[in-house]
Chains A and B, each alone.
Chain A
Amino acid sequence: MTVLDVTALTKYYPTFQLDNISFQLAAGTITGFVGANGAGKSTTLKAILGLLNIDHGQITYFGKNFFHNQTAIKQDLAFVDGGITYFPRKKLRTLTDTTARFYANWDAQRYQTYLEKFQLDDRKTPHELSTGMRIKYALAVALSHHAKLLILDEPTSGLDPVSRDELLTIFLDLRAQGVTILFSTHIINDLQQCADNILYLHQGQLLFDAPLTELLARYQLITITDPTDLSQAQKQAFQYAKAEQVNGQKLWRGLTQQPDLFLDSQRSAVDLETLMVHIERGVALVN
């Protein structure tokens, strides 16, 4: 079942354009949303949440047009952005009591369960909570109204490795329960642990929309000492090249989709972070 279907989403700004973005999210999957700063990730998330007016495109949740059914759709949707940023001096208890009344499916029992599980004290204010605890509170609220889709903007930023690991475990549990997660992050390692699919945004355009394993299988990392030694065919296959210093030695690294052109010793598997860095910063040796 398709939970979210975005078609030809376009938003114009004077100096930036979110250009014709299309993707789908299947139920019970975790999708990583990546891209460099300024690529348009937050703009995309805001647009699909209805915080921005879009210039073109269609957004469909659970088979319903978002613009005509916004209120009903938001009952099954939750957005978490680095923990709650609103009403920092109000008690969690007050915030929950107010928020709960807006959701037809609010489950007070489930909320209590998550409070205990996340060790949250609802007599505290958001201001008194750490970043990790604020995110957990936002998740507790989201899960207590039985959100079927969680949209998370940088949920693990500013968290220590232990808290990040804990959150990722929670995400995996939620996926097992059938919850769909769209997860924007700069911490690429987190996605390697839990993402099924990757959406890669580059300068306002969707560069990749693929399963993580398939995306990583498309490329191999090639390491060479001197690009002038390469044949013309190898130069053309040696994409997103970048000079790097490794143990005091200058090496050239790049990505290829034609690994057979290179020696076994020059080839290695690529991880998502390396792929992203090379795509963003690498250059073509041959135009």
Chain B
Amino acid sequence: MLTNLRKEFKLSLHPTVPIFWLLSALVLVPNYPYLVIFFYTTLGLFFIELNSRENNDLRYSLLLPRSKADIVKTRLFFIMIIELIQVILILPFAYLRTLWLSDLNVIPGQANLALLGLGLTLLGLFNLTFYPILFKDPTRIGRAYIWGTIVLTIGIILVETLFFISPFFQTNLNDLAPKHFMAQFLTGFVGLVLFFGCSHFANYFATRHFEHYDA
């Protein structure tokens, strides 16, 4: 797996991905819809797939001593690392925010552990949509990305709506007070579980599709 991951980082990582990682700093913007940060993450993943297609990455990978299942699993693992780095990078910026800004974000959704959980859930849903469609035909990246972003956008709208209609979201998640730490921590944990669960199924369905693909 290390050899496979090394290949992904050395050959397949698109230069925009580290730039998008830095957009975790958007939580320093006083009033901003923080969930949009995760849209940039998926844009980086889209560029990775475009880059792979233009560089004949798939042909290269298929000719190496690797199985198709191994290629899909490594790609999913690689993008999960990218997504987790994006989410983890929010933490230091969220801490800086508490030092520099005292007001809450006017737009619902604060830079707290719940944001990480909600972001991970959205990224998990994106993975579950994007990768199974992509591996049906890895040359048709646009089609997969459109479906992925539709799901992501619906997810973001749904979460933002919950901040308006759900007392749990309004009281426990849309706050930075320590008394809500446990609710926010649990949201973060559930998000992490959903992220791994969705990505596991994304790998399962993507592998099934890719096994039938003629390169």
Residues of A at the B interface (CB closer than 8 Å) are 46, 49-53, 70-72, 74-75, 79, 85-90, 94-95, 97-99, 101-103
A53–B67 touching, CB < 8 Å: no
Given contacts A53-B214, A94-B11, contact A79 B3 (CB under 8 A): no
With CB as the reference atom, state the residue of chain B lying closest to A99: B64
A-B contact count (CB 8 A): 61
Give chain B interface residues in 44-64, CB to chain A under 8 Å: 55-57, 59-60, 62-64
Starting from the known contacts A53-B213, A87-B56, 5 additional A-B residue pairs (CB-CB under 8 Å) come to: A49-B62, A79-B63, A85-B56, A85-B59, A102-B64
Interface residues in B1-32 (C-beta closer than 8 Å to A): 3, 6-7, 10-11
Contact A51 B11 (CB under 8 A): no
Contacts of A87 in B (CB 8 A): 11, 55-57, 60
**Interfacial chain A residues near B6, Cβ < 8 Å:** 98, 101
Least Cβ distance of A121 to chain B in Å?
20
Q: Which residue of B lies closest to A72 (CB)?
A: B65
- B90–chain A nearest beta-carbon distance, Å: 31
B63 touches A75 (CB 8 A): no
Interface pair A74/B57, CB less than 8 Å apart: no
CA–CA, A70 to B67, complex, Å? 7
Bound-state CA distance A165–B67 (Å) is: 36
The total of chain B residues at the interface (CB under 8 A) is 22
Closest A residue to B61 by CB, please name it: A86
Contact B60 A86 (CB under 8 A): yes
Say yes or no for B215: interface residue by CB 8 A criterion: yes
| B55 and A103 contacting across the interface, CB-CB below 8 Å | no
Asked if A51 contacts B215 (CB within 8 A), the reply is: yes
**Given A87-B55, A101-B6, A102-B3, A52:B65 Cβ within 8 A:** no
Contact across chains for B56 and A74 when beta carbons are under 8 A apart: no
Partner of A94, one of B10, B70, B212, B213: B10
Given A75-B65, A98-B6, A101-B3: A86 and B212 within 8 A (CB)? no
Residues in chain A near residue B66, CB distance under 8 A: 71, 74, 102
Return the contact of A74 from the options B7, B65, B213 (Cβ within 8 A): B65
Alpha-carbon gap, A75 to B3, bound state (A): 15
Which B residues are CB-close (under 8 A) to A74? Answer: 63-66
Chain A residue numbers with a CB within 8 Å of B10 are 94, 97-98
Which residues of the other chain, B, contact A103 by a CB distance below 8 angstroms? 65
Could you pull out 17 A-B pairs where Cβ atoms are within 8 angstroms? A46-B215, A49-B63, A52-B214, A71-B65, A71-B66, A74-B64, A74-B65, A74-B66, A85-B56, A85-B59, A86-B60, A87-B57, A94-B11, A102-B64, A102-B65, A102-B66, A103-B65
User: Which residues from chain A contact B212 at a C-beta distance below 8 Å?
Assistant: 53
Bound-state Cα–Cα, A89 to B55, Å: 9
Across the two chains, which residue of chain A brings its CB closest to B10?
A: A98
CA distance A71 to B69 in the complex (A): 11
Give the distance in Å from the alpha carbon of A46 to the alpha carbon of B66 in the complex.
Answer: 16
Given A94-B10, A98-B6: A86 in contact with B67 (beta carbons within 8 A): no
**Known contacts A98-B11, A102-B3: A50-B62 contact under CB 8 Å:** yes
- Could you tell me the distance in whole angstroms from the C-beta of B41 to the nearest C-beta in chain A? 24
Across-interface contacts of B55 in A (CB, < 8 A)? 86-90
Q: How far is the CA of A101 from the CA of B1 in the complex (A)?
A: 11
- Minimum CB–CB distance for B116 against chain A, Å: 33
